[in-house]
Amino acid sequence: MRVVNLFGETLREAPAETEIVSHQLMLRAGFIRQLAAGIFSYLPLAQRSLRKIEQILREEMDAIGAQEIEMPVVHPAEIWQKTGRWQAIDETMVRFKDRKGHEMVLALTHEEVVAELTRSEIKSYKQLPQAVYQIQTKFRDEQRARGGLIRVREFIMKDSYTLDRDEAGLAIQYTAHYNAYHRIGARVGLNLIAVGSDVGMMGGKVAHEFMYLSPIGEDSLIVCENCDYAANQEIAEFEKPRYDNGPALEMEKVATPGAKTIEDLSQFLGIEPHQTCKAVFFVAEYGKTLKNKLVVALVRGDMEVNDVLVKNWSKANVLRTATPEEITAVGMVPGYASSVGITNDDVLVIADELISLETNLVAGANEEGYHLRNVNCGRDFKPDLIVNIATARSGDTCIKCGAKLTLQRGVEVGNIFQLGTRYTEAMGANYVDEAGQLKAVVMGSYGIGVGRLLACIAEEYRDDRGLKLPISIAPYAVCLISLCRTPEGQERANTLYTELLGAGVETLYDDRKDVSAGVKFADSELRGIPLQIVISEKSMERGGVEWKLRGSDERTIVSLDETVSCMKQEIAKLHALLSERAENAPKWDKG
């Protein structure tokens, strides 16, 4: 491709509204242009990179036995209603009616469609296991698009689905995807970390997210500094310290004027926060099928409530913070509230495990200006659930090895789910086993964002001059810059370009005559092309052409006759380094 014909201009400055560097660089390099919030056009350079990422995805999916298909992006509402997700998913899913008044949706994932295909195509255990995948544009009406391609509304995703007879078969295919995702990360030059995650709207029992660790990430991750324990903070567990408050004493009410926070209460009574019981209030919304409930989440005063765990345990469609009016409506007093003496059927009390183990805690008296001393779970109040609802934090203790946990930020580029039979049972997707028994097919679901992967690569591979893209996904392997002024020199540059193309070397040829050498060098650096060749009368006087690696200032002279073979060798070296990373990528070791 000649730069003079390339669609997409470079920009000297990024638009002011851009937040992160990778977004700025992809705009400046002429990779992407924004049409609306979270909606982008991919210009030729980005399109070439995306296609290379997609090819890597295809190769890794094919290698584990998956078959490529393509499914509709518009679905009838009925299949989503059968699985219950029509009611469970908020405005993120775009719903509309066709001209005949039928409810339809824009697909944000395809579990329902795969289950429907399974119902029609799978009849016998002899047809299992199976795995299918697609690479397709999807739409999610995100409330807050940000960071360029990091969080968008329209996006390209590779989504794959596995079909098995039982959980053992699912585990095998889940492991294969786990390993393939690490290989994909290595082949595009990223070290991804797999963390345990919440199953969310997908459902199922087990899930992992594949994270690119970066300060730009929206996800909070808990990672052990010693062992391989890693989990999204939403579900992370930790070793909870116990304190001895002595045998249970008689409960008594004490005046605590103005002490509405744990900090104020601790100072007023001269106690430690871990001697208190913290109550956090939510409303669990269940849609039209069940009545909403006020949820009282109880943790020890030195800890924080994990609202994702509370939502999961309450089985709510939506969990939101309760208003003061909703708290007082059930007989509690904000700032002085507790579950002591509350027997309302519209209240769900969920206590962290430590609350049932600690003695003589201080809790609200449900009376303005008063608290209760020596509150004991089981004697003074009985929670509906006693489970883990505390948030893991940096400095907490790892449940696996006892070392300290750290809090890190990450961008989720992929996820994998063990779905089980949630969708196949709902859709009637069954098979007949050896004994003639009808059983539901066991499913797995696996996604990876193509555009988000490109954004993370751009974030990882950059410097103050621009992008520094890995050879595996760079739009071109070589940028050939001609500084020739004479007709003879220009003809030699054109010949070299033709030779490179003939040898299969992907080359971006900058033969523009109306820009300076400085602009050509700046554009080449900005676009992140891995190898750069400069040809000029001066270079030919010195023996041929100059070449260098992106990110290096060291230039090497190579003869014109050897230029093509030199480039092919350097490209092979760069690919070999990524192949070695892929061979050494992490593998499933969870037992």
Angle between helices 487-502 and 560-583 in degrees, nearest 10: 40
DSSP code of residue 505: -
pLDDT bracket for residue 198 (50, 70, 90): confident
End-to-end Cα spacing for the chain: 50
The predicted pLDDT at position 82 comes to: 94
Same domain, 180 and 46: yes
Q: Which of 432, 436, 420 is nearest to 125 (CA)?
A: 432
- What's the rounded mean pLDDT across residues 552-578? 96
The pLDDT of residue 182 is: 97
Nearest to 279 by CA among 383, 202, 360: 383
Strands (E), 337-404: 347-352, 361-367, 370-375, 385-387
Tokens of 400: 């696996």
Q: Say how far apart CA 180 and CA 57 lie, in whole Å.
A: 9
Task: Residue 283: give the domain boundaries.
Answer: 252-387
Is the pLDDT confidence value at 534 over 70?
A: yes
- Residues 37, 115 within the same domain: yes
Helices (H), 209-295: 262-269
Residue 204 pLDDT class (50, 70, 90 cuts) = low
Which is higher by pLDDT, 411 or 288? 411
pTM given for the model: 0.89
- Residue 1 domain flag: no
User: 255 forms bridges with which residues in the sheet?
Assistant: 370
Confidence of residue 154 (pLDDT cuts 50, 70, 90): very high
pLDDT band per the 50, 70, 90 thresholds, residue 49: very high
Are 321 and 215 found together in one domain? no
Number of domains in the chain: 3
Do 163 and 187 belong together in one domain?
yes
CATH number, domain containing residue 281: 3.90.960.10
Helices (H), 75-233: 77-83, 85-88, 111-121, 167-187
Pairwise CA distance, residues 21 & 29, whole Å: 12
β-strand 430-432 against 39-42: which pairing, if any? unpaired
> Mutual orientation of helices 167-187 and 44-63 as an angle, nearest 10°?
140
The answer to whether position 467 is within a domain reads: no
451 and 548 part of one domain: no
Q: What is the pLDDT of residues 394-426, one digit of tens each?
A: 999 999 999 999 999 999 999 999 999 999 999
- Specify whether the backbone of 436 is left (phi greater than 0), alpha (psi in -120 to 50) or beta: left
- The answer for residues whose C-beta is within 8 angstroms of residue 32's C-beta and 6 or more apart is 26, 40, 41, 42, 43, 46, 148, 149
Rounded to whole angstroms, what are the CA distances from 222 to 59, 238, 407? 32, 9, 5
Q: Please state the φ and ψ torsions of residue 231, each to the nearest 5 degrees.
A: -155, 150
Is 22 within the bounds of a domain? Answer: yes
pLDDT of residue 202: 60
pLDDT confidence tier of residue 201, bands split at 50, 70 and 90: low
CA nearest to 448, candidates 114, 184, 115, 52? 184
Q: What angle do CA 321, 324, 328 make, to 5 degrees?
A: 120
Same domain, 428 and 502: no
Assign residue 510 the CATH number of its domain: 3.40.50.800
* 192, 217 contact by CB (below 8 A): no
